[in-house]
Structure 1
Amino acid sequence: MIKKLLTGVSMAALLFGASACGESDGSNSGSGGSESSGAASTSPSANAAPKPDVADVPDVVAEVNGEEIPKDEFVATYEGQFQQMAMQAQQTGQPVDQDKLKQQTAKSMIDNEILVQEAGNRGIEATDKQIDQTLQRLVKQNGMKSTDQLFAALKKQGMNKEDVMPQIEHQVVVEQLIADEAGNIQPTEQELRKLYEQTKAQQGGSGSKIPPFEKVKPQLKQQAVSQKESQVARNLVSDLREKADIKNHL
């Protein structure tokens, strides 16, 4: 399974990662419709994997400050989310709640659109070099040898290159936006040691040996920066939602 496109900085947990696994708070900001999740579930068949149900998805899923999130973009994102959840469902035996997953996906796409618009308002743009660097990072994260291999794998998941590239560009500008908002984050030695102790405690029962602090310090710093940027991103989305005109038609 290809890792979600919005993997940089903190966006995996904040946006698409949260939409697949997290809990939606059901809140709705701006002068829009409800974003509450439905109660129905779709149970996987004993003899066949469940399939995404997009028959009830409207042509315009949502509007954010007048910008539409169309059905085709939503379906491409939702089907990727559903595929991951369906794989988990087969392992756990728990059915995929498609109504809830649709609302979570819509919320994450709305949040992402809010951030992309804010990046545009600040004059933040993605350069060809930054886009290529992000593609190379995705290639490396997924253990592949080239962007061609990455695009081929994504195509098997129903995402053509034409669908992927706008998402890559959005990822780049959102990462720049969060970096701009967060400023120069420099975790303290105390924060890094606290994170190290937390990691040791979490992995203590697994029997795996934790490397010495100094050896993993660069990774700890990266993790600490990512956590702070995640919080900055969540705060920014919350603030922008209060001012945004959001209509969720799902």
Structure 2
Amino acid sequence: MKKNAWFTGLMSLLLLISVGCNDDDEPNVEDSEAIGQVGEVEPQLEDIPDVVATVNGEDITKDFFAMYYVPTLKRTVEQQTYQEEEEKNDEEALRQQIQDDTLELLIQQQLLLQEAKSRNITVEEEVIHQQLQSFKQQYESEEAFQAALQEENFTKEELEQDIKIQIMINQLMEDELKNVEVSEEQTRELYEELNEMQGENEENMPSYEELQPQLEQQILQQLRFEKRQELVEKLRKEGEIKVYL
């Protein structure tokens, strides 16, 4: 098992093992004020064509692209507040990078969605409604929920559309992994890697039995990621993609 392939997951598990962060990890007032001082990078949507790409004849429109691109650009700018000045990107480079990343994400999403439809994978409206309600419960009121949607450049209808897409893709990946089983050998190997990464704190390591469910989930998550990438590459080779951005 290559360590670099598992690094992100291992770090997540190590976080579960560790004592946890203290109050000093929370942003202070100065940090919050700094965010407000960051100059906003304009998305310049007027430069975006009405159709940014077609995937097997289906358009990815400018409006759909902007729904993901604008909030991603905003969050990235805010995150750059905490970077050293020499690490920050100039506005044009940042815009281009976020545009490229967003377009690639949407092309992959469209390929997977088309494959899900070809397998007759559907989502009941009630399932979408339940997921929407679970989102709403994270906010104190309907007004707060609507304000959060506006902040993220989403309408309620667009959020419902995104929920449906993600559920369909998740079901597609479950279909891809339906015959995959995680062996005890795999979980024990991952446990030993965690042990090694703990170093001097090894004595604080929970037992294998305690961590086994998380270990299995981490391995399945990695397998799901790898299977998704394989499926995207297969669909990309078989399909026809035209990019206009």
Tell me if the contact between 1:134 and 1:172 (Cα under 8 Å) persists in the aligned partners: no
Matched, 1:197 2:192: yes
Larger RCO (alpha carbons 8 Å, 6+ apart): 1
What is aligned with 1:76? 67
Matched, 1:103 2:105: no
Query: Structure 1's 126 and 222: CA in aligned 2 closer, same or farther, altered over 3 A?
Result: same
Unaligned runs of 5+ in 2: 1-7, 9-34
Secondary structure class of the residue paired with 2:54: strand
For residue 131 of structure 1, the aligned residue among 128, 133, 150 is 128
Secondary structure class of the residue paired with 1:126: coil
AA of the residue aligned to 2:242: K
AA of the residue aligned to 1:82: L
AA of the residue aligned to 1:83: K
What is aligned with 2:225? 230
TM-score scaled by length of structure 2: 0.72
Matched, 1:221 2:191: no
What is aligned with 1:121? 118
Matched, 1:54 2:45: yes
TM-score scaled by length of structure 1: 0.71
Tell me how far 1:158 sits from its aligned partner.
1.7
Task: Please identify, of 66-75 and 190-199, the stretch whose mean Cα deviation from structure 2 is larger.
Answer: 190-199
For residue 55 of structure 2, the aligned residue among 64, 68, 85 is 64
1:72-123 deviation digits (Å, cap 9, x = unpaired): 1111100121122112211114126211221111011011001111111111
Tell me how far 1:245 sits from its aligned partner.
1.1
Tell me how far 1:208 sits from its aligned partner.
11
Looking at structure 1, the residues matched to 208 and 172 of structure 2 have their Cα atoms a distance apart, in angstroms, of 31
Looking at structure 2, the residues matched to 245 and 186 of structure 1 have their Cα atoms a distance apart, in angstroms, of 34
Looking at structure 1, the residues matched to 205 and 197 of structure 2 have their Cα atoms a distance apart, in angstroms, of 11
Looking at structure 1, the residues matched to 75 and 38 of structure 2 have their Cα atoms a distance apart, in angstroms, of 19
Unaligned runs of 5+ in 1: 1-12, 14-43
Tell me if the contact between 1:139 and 1:145 (Cα under 8 Å) persists in the aligned partners: yes
Tell me if the contact between 2:182 and 2:216 (Cα under 8 Å) persists in the aligned partners: yes
Task: Please identify, of 226-235 and 78-87, the stretch whose mean Cα deviation from structure 2 is larger.
Answer: 78-87
Tell me if the contact between 1:59 and 1:71 (Cα under 8 Å) persists in the aligned partners: yes
For residue 207 of structure 2, the aligned residue among 198, 208, 212 is 212
Query: Structure 1's 212 and 153: CA in aligned 2 closer, same or farther, altered over 3 A?
Result: farther
Query: How much identity, in percent, do the aligned residues show?
Result: 31
Tell me how far 1:214 sits from its aligned partner.
1.6
Indicate the structure with greater helix content. 2
Query: Structure 1's 204 and 60: CA in aligned 2 closer, same or farther, altered over 3 A?
Result: farther
Task: Please identify, of 227-236 and 197-206, the stretch whose mean Cα deviation from structure 2 is larger.
Answer: 197-206
Looking at structure 1, the residues matched to 203 and 64 of structure 2 have their Cα atoms a distance apart, in angstroms, of 42
For residue 237 of structure 2, the aligned residue among 223, 234, 242 is 242
Secondary structure class of the residue paired with 2:120: coil
Matched, 1:186 2:186: no
Tell me how far 1:152 sits from its aligned partner.
4.4
- Indicate the RMSD between aligned Cα atoms, in angstroms: 3.1
1:184-213 deviation digits (Å, cap 9, x = unpaired): 332111211222233444455899944322
Looking at structure 1, the residues matched to 81 and 167 of structure 2 have their Cα atoms a distance apart, in angstroms, of 34
Looking at structure 2, the residues matched to 48 and 206 of structure 1 have their Cα atoms a distance apart, in angstroms, of 43
What is aligned with 1:153? 148
